[in-house]
Amino acid sequence: MVERILDVKNLKIDFHTYAGEVKAIRDVSFHLNKGETLAIVGESGSGKSVTTKSIMGLLANNARVIGGSIMYHGQDLLQKTEKEMQNIRGKDIAMIFQDPMTSLDPTMKIGQQIAEPLIKHKHMDKKKAWQQALEIMKLVGIQDAEQRINNYPHQFSGGMRQRIVIAIALVCYPEILIADEPTTALDVTIQAQILDLMKELQSKIETSIIFITHDLGVVAGMANRVAVMYAGEIIEYGTVDEIFFDPQHPYTWGLLNSMPTLSSTKLEAIPGTPPDLLDPPKGDPFAARNPYAMKIDAEKKPPFFKITDTHYAATWLLHPDAPKITPPAEIQRRWKIYAGMMKDKAK
Amino acid sequence: MTENRKKLLEVKHLKQYFNVGKANEVRAVDDVSFDIYEGETFGLVGESGSGKTTTGRSIIHLYQPTAGKIIFDGQDISKLKTRKEFLAFRRKMQMIFQDPYASLNPRMKIKDIVAEGLDIHHLAKNDQERSQIVEDLLETVGLNRDHSSRYPHEFSGGQRQRIGIARALAVRPKFIIADEPISALDVSIQAQVVNLLKELQEKHGLTYLFIAHDLSMVKYISDRIGVMHYGKLLEVGPADDVYEHPLHDYTASLISAVPVPDPEYERQRKQIVYDASQEKDLPDQPRKLREIVPGRFVRCSEAEIPKYRQRALAAEKQGANNY
């Protein structure tokens, strides 16, 4: 049995705004296995960043946790005080932010910034921490680390800065690394380098990663398991092969369909926009944009239907009484590949 | 096929330098030449700092080019002098911007944003006709007629980009420069906007210069692609050919870095690393854009032509085998 390192259960978070209560996270449950990479995919406003911020205890002041728990080593992170969280943050659970331009302190030498967590959490003396900072800089592929350690952030390019941010996050060898769109601000060639680096480091220091992104291409290359979020809920989760080759939720179909692949000739856009979470719809939140929506979708929220032990999707289409439908051609193509994979496995 | 089509835009040896003569001189665009034919979409790709946006801005004359010529619709735009000439030019060429949040004036109503071009060019006879045109435009881009009296903050990113498109269409241009029009949008909305641009092109016979860093999207929308790197145009050719059989090493490395939503493919992916130092210019062998096979251009020296020609022919053979 794989060890669950983090277990999020029935998480509900509201944001208080002038317009009313925005129900940003509506009953989200997932877990992170030791050593794996879990990708959380979704559009902006789907709640993927709020979820991870709640794990880190970094929610905005107007956020309110309505219910749920985040279990880490038998303790609920939501019950911890700010002081206790400060001892976990950066040491056991670390985070890489989206924008390498704003997540570094422009007035501090990067060596100092990398050594800071060591001095704070591991109570190292300055000299030793500096030495360790030098080592991790080499590990993340910064050339001439001995000289560069004395530089300031503005002396580095975007890709190099993101390497530094990764170095800071990894310097304490955290058990969990949360990467919130770590490559979105970077060029594709630099993105490829950073992703390769993250994969390599993961095997070296055995950390578990929660990877947040909206880019399905990045997910395909990085993740072991994938959770798809929509309108503050997880609507489908499974292994990377199950999500990409045997997707069951019409929203997952829509996402896969609206991305150009090497061979695609026509893009199928998802019509409309996500629902307003000030007043979330009663039934399936995706119903209004779903060409396969049925009457029940508007009335009752679908539960999770089990496809395999690892693969679940919340759509009424999986109910035994649901009518047979024909998914889009691109999805049928993917299903065929999946059928082939299953056959190979059976052999 | 392309020979007998009309060239709408000719860019000839365009150079756009900043801080000329100073220590911090930047050669943002360095000797770039390409043509855009009427009715096609030309995609310009490259990483940040490659000069693709500067090229677009020079074409619409937001900058005075350092050197080179831009001929649009048979007219050299550097020869434009009077306000009247500029007005006539800008009516034919419009731009769609990257950031739908920054490119709409938050204090103006949608109808005034969309109609600004109509007012400047006196295209509407009276108020009634003006609102009629605006409402028709909003409908064309997939918005509601009654959206016209709202303000930008009431719209989502995708809707704002549609408003930007309606504004560009208002003066009935021939040519639209779309500078990263979808990179600020969500995946599901990106496809909506790209499909809208395609639809409008068919309906109104528009010509696009589509600037983006997202290679897979550029390949999907463009007929031909130009690849830029460090201010230089390295490769030009039909979109499918460039994407599937890149000739220049840089193009190959760029394409190999694009993540594909297919785990099987990703597991086998090998990134090709491009070494820019191999491309050092030698004084006796000047590099410039040369035609390798009909329709496909690569920036190379005289001596390198056979190497690229071989690649192109190998690609053609492979393509023929596939059919």
Residue carrying structure tokens 């993740």? A223
Pair of tokens at residue A39: 């990708």
Pair of tokens at residue B314: 């190998």
Q: What is the pLDDT of residues A14-44, one digit of tens each?
A: 999 888 899 999 999 999 999 999 999 988 8
Cβ-based contacts of B269 with chain A (< 8 Å) = 221
Q: Which residues contact A186 (CB under 8 A, 6 or more apart)?
A: A100, A158, A159, A162, A194
Scanning A273-332 for CB atoms below 8 A from B yields 273
Average pLDDT, chain A: 91
Q: Which residues contact A143 (CB under 8 A, 6 or more apart)?
A: none
Long-range contacts, stretch B312-320, CB < 8 angstroms, 24+ apart? B312/B245, B312/B247, B315/B241, B315/B244, B315/B245, B315/B247, B318/B245, B319/B244, B319/B245
ipTM exceeds 0.95:
no
Q: Which has the closest alpha carbon to A241: A138, A137, A338, A136?
A: A338
Q: Which residue of A has its CA nearest to B194?
A: A267
Pair of tokens at residue A242: 């199950």
Q: What is the pLDDT of residues A257-301, one digit of tens each?
A: 888 766 666 778 888 888 888 888 889 999 999 999 999 999 999
Q: Which amino acid is at A90?
A: G
Q: Kind of pairing, strands B224-229 and B41-45?
A: parallel
Judge whether A240 is closer than 8 Å to chain B, CB to CB.
Answer: yes
Element (H, E) at B232: strand B232-238
Cα gap B114→B131, rounded to integer Å: 10
Annotate A158-225 with DSSP letters as a single string: HHHHHHHHHHHHHTT--SEEEEESTTTTS-HHHHHHHHHHHHHHHHHHT-EEEEEES-HHHHHHH-SE
Give pLDDT, residue A263: 63
Q: What are phi and psi of B62, to 5 degrees?
A: -80, -20
Cα gap A192→B272, rounded to integer Å: 10
Domain containing residue B137: CATH number: 3.40.50.300
Given a contact cutoff of 8 angstroms between Cβ atoms, the answer to whether B295 and B238 are in contact is yes
Q: What is the DSSP letter of A344?
A: H
The 10 Å Cβ neighbour count of residue B17 is 16
Q: Which residue of B has its CA nearest to A41?
A: B187
Cα gap A33→A208, rounded to integer Å: 7
Q: How many domains does chain B have?
A: 1
Given a contact cutoff of 8 angstroms between Cβ atoms, the answer to whether B66 and B16 are in contact is yes
Annotate A4-73 with DSSP letters as a single string: EEEEEEEEEEEEEETTEEEEEEEEEEEEEETT-EEEEE--TTSSHHHHHHHHHT---TTEEEEEEEEEET
Q: Is residue B80 part of a domain?
A: yes
Q: What is the DSSP letter of A77?
A: G
Q: What is the pLDDT of residues A300-334, one digit of tens each?
A: 999 999 999 999 999 999 999 999 999 998 899 99
Q: With both helix axes pointing from N to C terminus, report the angle between B127-140 and B157-169 in degrees, rounded to the nearest 10.
A: 130
Cα gap A27→A23, rounded to integer Å: 10
What distances in angstroms separate CA B194 from CA A41, A189, B190, B201, one per listed residue? Answer: 22, 24, 6, 11
Distance between B90 CA and the closest CA of chain A, angstroms: 32
Q: What is the pLDDT of residues A85-131, one digit of tens each?
A: 999 999 999 999 887 778 899 999 999 999 999 999 999 999 999 99
Cβ-based contacts of A270 with chain B (< 8 Å) = 188, 191-192
Q: Is residue B42 part of a domain?
A: yes
Q: What is the pLDDT of residues A125-150, one digit of tens each?
A: 999 999 999 999 988 888 889 999 99
Cα gap A144→B29, rounded to integer Å: 31
pLDDT in tens, chain B (323 residues): 445 689 999 999 999 999 988 888 889 999 999 999 999 999 999 888 889 999 999 999 999 999 999 999 999 998 888 999 999 999 999 999 988 889 999 999 999 999 999 999 999 999 999 999 999 999 999 888 888 999 999 888 889 999 999 999 999 999 999 999 988 788 778 888 899 999 999 999 999 999 988 888 898 899 999 999 989 999 999 999 999 899 999 999 998 888 888 998 888 888 788 877 766 767 777 888 899 989 999 998 888 889 999 998 888 887 666 54
- Picking from A267, A330, A342 by the largest number of B CB atoms within 10 A of its own CB, the best residue to mutate is A267
Exposure string for A74-108, b = 16+ CB within 10 A, e = fewer: eeebbebeeeeeeebbbbbbbbbbbbbeebbeeee
Distance between A9 CA and the closest CA of chain B, angstroms: 28
In sequence order, the β-bridge partners of residue A225 are A38, A239
Identify the domain containing residue B252 by its residue range.
Answer: 7-322
Give pLDDT, residue B321: 63
Position with higher pLDDT, B239 vs A157: B239
- Picking from B183, B221, B262, B273 by the largest number of A CB atoms within 10 A of its own CB, the best residue to mutate is B262
Q: Which amino acid is at A304?
A: F
In sequence order, the β-bridge partners of residue B27 are B17
The 10 Å Cβ neighbour count of residue A60 is 9
Give pLDDT, residue B1: 46
Q: Is residue B198 part of a domain?
A: yes
Exposure string for A231-249, b = 16+ CB within 10 A, e = fewer: bbbbbbbbbbbbbbbbbbb
Q: What is the pLDDT of residues B109-130, one digit of tens each?
A: 999 999 999 999 999 999 999 9
Give helix then strand counts, H and E, for chain B.
11, 12
Distance between B249 CA and the closest CA of chain A, angstroms: 13
SS3 of B238-264? EHHHHHHCCCCHHHHHHHHCCCCCCHH
Domains annotated for chain A, with CATH where assigned, are 4-223 (3.40.50.300), 235-346 (no CATH)
- Picking from A262, A276, A342 by the largest number of B CB atoms within 10 A of its own CB, the best residue to mutate is A262
Distance between B125 CA and the closest CA of chain A, angstroms: 35
Q: What is the pLDDT of residues A206-246, one digit of tens each?
A: 899 999 998 899 999 999 999 999 999 999 999 999 999 99
Q: What is the DSSP letter of B132?
A: H
Give pLDDT, residue A265: 66
Distance from chain centroid for Cα A206: 18
Cα gap B143→B156, rounded to integer Å: 12
Coil, helix or strand for B77? helix
SS3 of A95-130? EECCCCCCCCCCCCCHHHHHHHHHHHHCCCCHHHHH
Given a contact cutoff of 8 angstroms between Cβ atoms, the answer to whether B12 and B70 are in contact is yes
Judge whether A2 is closer than 8 Å to chain B, CB to CB.
Answer: no
Q: Is residue B1 part of a domain?
A: no
Cα gap B259→A221, rounded to integer Å: 7
Q: Is residue B137 part of a domain?
A: yes
Distance between A76 CA and the closest CA of chain B, angstroms: 33
Handedness of CA B299, B301, B305, B308 (dihedral sign): negative
Q: Is residue B118 part of a domain?
A: yes
Q: Is residue B2 part of a domain?
A: no
Cα gap B194→A265, rounded to integer Å: 13
Coil, helix or strand for A247? coil
Cα gap A25→A49, rounded to integer Å: 10
